[in-house]
Each structure stands twice: as structure tokens, then as C-alpha cells.
């Protein structure tokens, strides 16, 4: 095991930043690539410390100790300063997505109400954007708003250290709400340092490492992996706006190439986007030989995507061994399992029909098989048990069950939600009474020490007594016709008198919207799902580009999609009249 890059006196993130300031004040910590290419702004550890002290002193003047402080920042370095400013003041940071014009604020209102936030920090530009909303929404208007990018730096001399321990609450990470209403995960300083240590060891980071991160800072992977991990390891990171990556994925790989990054990554869709959008001419300009850890997590990892990416970018110096499938979640701070950095990802071929019945049977038959990618092994000081979600007893080695986790990275529970905390964070095995464990709500199995994740417990589709993973159906749908967007569909069921019926909601690529033959596309979808899964579809709803409900990390919100479908609030294509209308189908 690699040694920790910090000494034993560091027990909080306040200690950690002060440690960096003491030993390397002039080293650049964060660089922001506003346009995805060139450095727009940067902080050394010393400069960051000064800004953090000023923000912390302001918060202390507002008596913010142990109060929740909402962080509403556009992409940039101001978020990092505000986050650490909260910690320096002993306040609890509450990261949230930045407001955008004409955007629904219902999720933000849920967060404000649940966190009982008193103060909101943002930038001058962010404050100007939110002003119109303040007149309309009393819950936002009641917050004490402050732009931190024009805060007088003389505040820094007024900062006084406050009592912060390893068990102190550092921030609330509101879950993405992919299957339910967002809940505030209570993350302590001890949780953050433990999980940062796991990432440092499993990624084999060093002071010579360099990161490039486009993931949003208000999401756990962007915050802990992209901002806190470089601080923990004492190495520089280059941050870029998520929208730049989504619009021009080439800029992500160009930044890795230009700044000689060793660590970067994202959900599976990021690699798929690069495969589909980056041209041969663009690939010819890239040098990806420095890329040692291409982490892949937050959604199902697909062997086909990794294979396509590795093949396309091998001439650029990318090595298949760099791929690092991993598994984690907000409730465990971030990472739970990860592989061997130097080894190729492990892919198992199993019988598809057996998997639907929660059985794991190796297969060498290409017609009835499914490739599943290992997310690596359970990391040190964590325990993973595969449990039957109904009997609450451990599964046999060849059985799929719910993934339960215990260890120092597991968070303290959900803020002001004792019922959900008890249900998810305080689970015990029925036979041995061993516990407490965190119930992840994810399904998977262990094979030769490797963890394989197969789906979400609540998203599982059950029709006529058979189990189906929605992501498998969604992949079949997306591949049924070239007009359909990969990773932009939702499969779920609705209850009718004659039982559960399958519904497909699927986005269409923008360039096809105008002249789409809806009847033809729907027929292709029905044929593909019937052939691949032996399922008849009750309803196909084709929707406009980029309108499918998703979380901040890009996960499909199937529950929210189902609710919008039933409430007839989806942005369905106008020419859906070529097939039976949604109203008619719903009345069946």
C-alpha cells in the first residue's frame, strides 16, 4: 500500500489546506480553462488560502458556525474558494447546481427547505441571474445572498480558527434523485479524508500526477475527485466547464494532451461521446500517452464503449490498460471499488436469461450472453456484502443481490431524514445481525473478489414474473435506428388492468427532428425489443433532443421520466400523430 501524502496531524480539510500552504504556498493548485483550451485563472495554495480566509471571516460575521450555506456557482474557481471558506468558518457547505435562465428551480427549493440554509454564496454574475427569481420565490428571497468574487480581501485578517474536528459535518451532498426526491448526505471531514486516501492509493497518485476534470463541482465526482483529490495529493488540476465538454468533447482530450494529464475521466457516456463526435482530423492532433488513469463510473460501464474508444484512440497513444472502471456513490463519500491501475479491465461473459433471474452463469455462447465489466475490488477498510433484498441474508456466490457497504467512508446519514437514514444506513443481516451496513439500492455480484454491478433495485423491470434491467432495453432501443440518441432513453413500466406494461421514452438526435418518419422509427424500436428481449412495448414516446430528465452527473432519472410521462409533461415530438396518440395509449 502506498503511503499517505500527508502527516498524521491532518484530521480535517482545514488542516489539509493549511498543510499545503505551509509546505508549498507557491505551487499552483487549480487552473481554470474557461474556453476549454487556455488558462483563464489559477490559484496557488497561498492565493487560495487568502481568498478562503476572507470568505470564512465574512461567514463568521454572519454567525454561520454549523449553519448550512448554499453554494450556487457557475463553472470556475470561485466555487473551490467558497467551499473551503465554509469549512474554515465551521459552516456546512451545500453545493447546488448554478441557476440558468428559464430553468425550473423546484429541486433547488427542495434543497433549500431541507437544508434550512440561511446564507447563499455565488458570484456577481450569479447574483444578477438570480435576482428576478428572488421576487417570485420567498424561500430564496429569505436567504442572505453574497457574491464572493468582489468580497474585500481585507476580510482575511479578521478570520479566526474555530473548533472543527474529524467528525464535524463538512458538507451536504444532495443525491442526484435518479429514483427519488433528493436527500442530503451528511459527509464529515473524516469521511472525506478516508475516501481521498482510498482514491490516492487505488489511482496510485503522486505529487507528479496531473488532472483534467470537466465534471461539475457540485457533483460528488467533480468535487471529491476533481477538487479535493488534487489537494490531498498535492498535484495540480485543470478544470473546464462541463458544457464545453458536452458541446465539444474534443476539447477534453485536447486538454489532456496539451497539459500532459495523468488522471481524467467521467461516466461511460463521456467516452461514447468522444467515439461519436471526434473526427479523424482531430484525433491526428492528440497525444494521450500521458493518460494513466481513465476512470469510468457513475453509470453502467460498457465493454463495447471501452473497446471502441481504445481502438479509435490507440494511434494517439491511449492504452487500454488506462481504463479504470470503478464504483461509488454519494452515500459512501465517493469511491467503493476500483481495479488494478496497471491491468486491463476485467470483463465476464454470462448467460443473459440467467442474469434476468438473478443467477450468474458463465457463458461461451455469443447468442445468449452478456458482457459485464468489473468495477474492481472492494477498497481497503471497506466491506461489501451481496444481500438478498427480501430475506436480508447473504447471497450465494453465483447470485445477484443488493450491494451493502460498511466502513469509514460511509456517511453519517441523511440530513433531517431519520426514517431514510434508518432504512438505508442502519441495515443488519437477518441471520448474523452483523452491521450496520449501508443499503446502496444497487444490484450486483462478487466473482473472484471482483465487484460487478448489474442495475438499480428500484429501476428493475418485472413483467410476467421475469426481471429485466432497464439499461439493457434502453441500449437496444438506442441502437434500433440511427436517429436515436445513445444514453438518452428511459425504459419503465406502468400498471394497467392486465398487469405491468413497458413504456419507452427516447430522445431523437437534433439533425433528424425535422424530417423524422416517426412510424418507421417506432416500428424499428418495437421489432428490436421484441427480438432481443421478447417483450412487447405498450407505448413508445419519442421526445426532443436534451429533454429527458437526467441527474447532474448524466444518469437517467427513470422515476422522474415516468412521472412526467403519466402527467403528460414530456416534450413529445409534434408528429407523433403518425402513431397512436399518448392519450389513446394511456386509456387502454
pLDDT digits (tens, 9 = 90+) for 110-159: 899 999 999 999 999 999 988 888 888 888 899 999 999 999 999 999 99
Instruction: Give the DSSP H or E segment for 20.
Output: helix 13-23
Instruction: Give yes or no for residue 1 having a pLDDT over 80.
Output: no
Check whether 289 has a pLDDT greater than 60. Answer: yes
pLDDT digits (tens, 9 = 90+) for 477-522: 999 999 999 989 999 999 876 678 899 999 999 999 988 999 999 9
Residue 101 reports pLDDT greater than 90: no
* Mean pLDDT confidence for 211-238: 96
CB atoms closer than 10 angstroms to residue 383: 12
Residue 106, pLDDT score: 76
Question: Does 574 have pLDDT greater than 80?
Answer: no
Q: What is the pLDDT of residue 293?
A: 98
The pLDDT assigned to 586 comes to: 36
pLDDT score, position 582: 38
For residues 356 and 399, which has the higher predicted lDDT (pLDDT)? 399
Q: Are 470 and 463 in contact (CB under 8 A)?
A: no
pLDDT band at 104 (very low <50, low <70, confident <90, very high): low
367, 531 contact by CB (below 8 A): no
CATH of domain 13-28+43-237: 3.40.50.12780
Per-residue model confidence as pLDDT tens digits over 315-334:
999 999 999 999 999 999 99
* Across 32-46, 237-251, 362-376, least confident range: 362-376
Kindly report the length of the chain: 588
- pLDDT, the chain, mean: 91
Q: Is the pLDDT of residue 377 over 80?
A: yes
pLDDT at residue 583 is higher than 70: no
**Under a CB-based contact definition with an 8 Å cutoff, are residues 512 and 456 in contact?**
no
Residue 103: pLDDT band (50, 70, 90) is low
Q: What is the pLDDT of residues 167-200, one digit of tens each?
A: 999 999 998 654 557 799 999 999 999 999 999 9
| Cβ neighbours of residue 110 closer than 8 Å, sequence gap 6 or more | 181, 182
pLDDT tier, 108 (very low <50, low <70, confident <90, very high otherwise)? confident
Q: Is the pLDDT of residue 577 over 60?
A: no
Give 3-state DSSP helix, strand, coil % of the chain, rounded to 5: 35, 25, 40
Predicted pLDDT of residue 467: 74
Beta strands in 62-158 (DSSP E): 68-72, 92-96, 119-122, 144-147
One DSSP character per residue, 241-295 reads -HHHHHH-HHHHHHHHHHTT-SEEEE-HHHHHHHHHH--HHHHTT---TT--EEE
For position 127, what pLDDT does the model report? 92
pLDDT digits (tens, 9 = 90+) for 417-471: 999 999 999 999 999 999 999 999 999 999 999 999 998 888 878 787 677 889 8
For position 298, what pLDDT does the model report? 79
| CATH architecture under which domain 328-426+436-456 falls | Roll (2.30)
Q: How far is CA 301 from the centre of its chain?
A: 13
Report pLDDT for 368: 80
Provide the residue ranges of all domains of the chain, joining segments of one domain with +: 13-28+43-237, 328-426+436-456, 461-586
Q: Mean pLDDT across the stretch 348-371?
A: 87
Q: What percent of the chain has pLDDT over 90?
A: 75
Pairing mode, strands 347-351 and 369-373: antiparallel
What is the pTM for the complete model shown?
Answer: 0.85
pLDDT of residue 562 exceeding 70: yes
Q: What is the pLDDT of residues 47-64, one digit of tens each?
A: 999 999 999 999 999 999
pLDDT reported for residue 587: 32
Asked if pLDDT for residue 561 goes beyond 80, the answer is: yes
pLDDT of amino acid 37: 95
Supply the pLDDT for residue 498.
Answer: 64
Q: What mean pLDDT is predicted for residues 256-269?
A: 95
* CATH topology agreement for domains 13-28+43-237 and 461-586: no
Please report the pLDDT score of residue 60 as a whole number: 98
Q: Which fold has domain 461-586?
A: GMP Synthetase; Chain A, domain 3 (3.30.300)
Amino acid at each position: 500500500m502506498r503511503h499517505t501524502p500527508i502527516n498524521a496531524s491532518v484530521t480535517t480539510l482545514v488542516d489539509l489546506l493549511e498543510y499545503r500552504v505551509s509546505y508549498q504556498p507557491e505551487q499552483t493548485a487549480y487552473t481554470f480553462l474557461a474556453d476549454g483550451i487556455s488558462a483563464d485563472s489559477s490559484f496557488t495554495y497561498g492565493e487560495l488560502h487568502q481568498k478562503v480566509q476572507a470568505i470564512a471571516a465574512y461567514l463568521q460575521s454572519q454567525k454561520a458556525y454549523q449553519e448550512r450555506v448554499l453554494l450556487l456557482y457557475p463553472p470556475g474557481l470561485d466555487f473551490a474558494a467558497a467551499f473551503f471558506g465554509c469549512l474554515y468558518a465551521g459552516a456546512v457547505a451545500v453545493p447546488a447546481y448554478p441557476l440558468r435562465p428559464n430553468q425550473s428551480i423546484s429541486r433547488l427549493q427542495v434543497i433549500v427547505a431541507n437544508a434550512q440554509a440561511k446564507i447563499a454564496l455565488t458570484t456577481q454574475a450569479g447574483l444578477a441571474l438570480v435576482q428576478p427569481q428572488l421576487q417570485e420565490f420567498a424561500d430564496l428571497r429569505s436567504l442572505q445572498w453574497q457574491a464572493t468574487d468582489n468580497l474585500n480581501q481585507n476580510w482575511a485578517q479578521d478570520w479566526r480558527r474555530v473548533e472543527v474536528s474529524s467528525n464535524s459535518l463538512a458538507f451536504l451532498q444532495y443525491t442526484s434523485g435518479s429514483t427519488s426526491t433528493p436527500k442530503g448526505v451528511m459527509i464529515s471531514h473524516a469521511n472525506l479524508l478516508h475516501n481521498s486516501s482510498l482514491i490516492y492509493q487505488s489511482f496510485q497518485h503522486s505529487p507528479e500526477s496531473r488532472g483534467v476534470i470537466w465534471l461539475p463541482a457540485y457533483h460528488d465526482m467533480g468535487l471529491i475527485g476533481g477538487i479535493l483529490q488534487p489537494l490531498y495529493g498535492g498535484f495540480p488540476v485543470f478544470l473546464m466547464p462541463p458544457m464545453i465538454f458536452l458541446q465539444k468533447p474534443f476539447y477534453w482530450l485536447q486538454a489532456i494532451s496539451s497539459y500532459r494529464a495523468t488522471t481524467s475521466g467521467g461516466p461511460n457516456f463521456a467516452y461514447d461521446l468522444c467515439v461519436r463526435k471526434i473526427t479523424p482530423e482531430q484525433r491526428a492532433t492528440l497525444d494521450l500517452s500521458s493518460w494513466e488513469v481513465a476512470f469510468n463510473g457513475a453509470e453502467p460501464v460498457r465493454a463495447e464503449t471501452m473497446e471502441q474508444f481504445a481502438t479509435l484512440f490507440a494511434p494517439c497513444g491511449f492504452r487500454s490498460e488506462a481504463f479504470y472502471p470503478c464504483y461509488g456513490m454519494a452515500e459512501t463519500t465517493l469511491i467503493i471499488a476500483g481495479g488494478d491501475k496497471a491491468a486491463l479491465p476485467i470483463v465476464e461473459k454470462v448467460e443473459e436469461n440467467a442474469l434476468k433471474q438473478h443467477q450468474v452463469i458463465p457463458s461461451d455462447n455469443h447468442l445468449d450472453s452478456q458482457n459485464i465489466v468489473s468495477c474492481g475490488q472492494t477498497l481497503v477498510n471497506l466491506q461489501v456484502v451481496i444481500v438478498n433484498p427480501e430475506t436480508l441474508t447473504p447471497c450465494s456466490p453465483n447470485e445477484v443481490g443488493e450491494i451493502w457497504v460498511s466502513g469509514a467512508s460511509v456517511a453519517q446519514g441523511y440530513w433531517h431524514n431519520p426514517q431514510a437514514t434508518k432504512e438505508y444506513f442502519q441495515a443488519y443481516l437477518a441471520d448474523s445481525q452483523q452491521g450496520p451496513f449501508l443499503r446502496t439500492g444497487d444490484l450486483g455480484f462478487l466473482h473472484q473478489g471482483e465487484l460487478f454491478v448489474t442495475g438499480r433495485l428500484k429501476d428493475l423491470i418485472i413483467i410476467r414474473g421475469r426481471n429485466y434491467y432497464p439499461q439493457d432495453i434502453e441500449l437496444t432501443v438506442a441502437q434500433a435506428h440511427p436517429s436515436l440518441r445513445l444514453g438518452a432513453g428511459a425504459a419503465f413500466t406502468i400498471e394497467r388492468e392486465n398487469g405491468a406494461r413497458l413504456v419507452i421514452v427516447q430522445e431523437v438526435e437534433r439533425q433528424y427532428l425535422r424530417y423524422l418518419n416517426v412510424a418507421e422509427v417506432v416500428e424499428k424500436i418495437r421489432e428490436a425489443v421484441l427480438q432481443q428481449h421478447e417483450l412487447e412495448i405498450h407505448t413508445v414516446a419519442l421526445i426532443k433532443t436534451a429533454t429527458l430528465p437526467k441527474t447532474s452527473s448524466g444518469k437517467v432519472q427513470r422515476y422522474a421520466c415516468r412521472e412526467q410521462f403519466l402527467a403528460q409533461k414530456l416534450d413529445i415530438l409534434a408528429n407523433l400523430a403518425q402513431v397512436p396518440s399518448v392519450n389513446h395509449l394511456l386509456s387502454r
